[in-house]
Homo-oligomer: A and B are copies of this chain.
Amino acid sequence: MLSKKTKYGLKALTYLASQKDKKPVQIAEIAKQENISQKFLESILLSLRKTGFLGSKKGKGGGYYLIKNPNEVLMTDIMRVLEGPIAMVPCVSLNFYEKCDDCPSEDTCSVHMLMLKVRDSTLEVYRNNTLADLII
Query: Chain A interface (Cβ within 8 Å of chain B)?
Result: 1-2, 7, 10-11, 14, 34-36, 75, 85, 88-89, 102-104, 107-111, 113-115, 117-118, 121-122, 124-126, 129, 133-136
CB distance from A66 to the nearest CB of B (A): 14
A108–B133 alpha-carbon span in the complex (Å): 12
Give how many copies assemble into the complex: 2
Distance in angstroms between the alpha carbons of A82 and B125 in the assembled complex: 24
The answer to whether A135 touches B110, judged by C-beta atoms less than 8 angstroms apart, is yes
Q: What are the residues of chain B within 8 A of A10 when measuring CB–CB?
A: 110-111, 114
Complex alpha-carbon distance, A115 and B1, angstroms: 11
Interface of A: prevailing SS: helix
> Which of B104, B115, B129 contacts A114 (CB under 8 A)?
B129
Q: Is the CB of B85 within 8 A of A110?
A: no
The verdict on A110 contacting B124 (CB below 8 Å), with A85-B1, A129-B117 known, is no
In the complex, what distance in Å separates the CA atom of A7 from the CA atom of B108? Answer: 14
User: When chains A and B are docked, how far (Å) is the Cα of A104 from the Cα of B117?
Assistant: 34
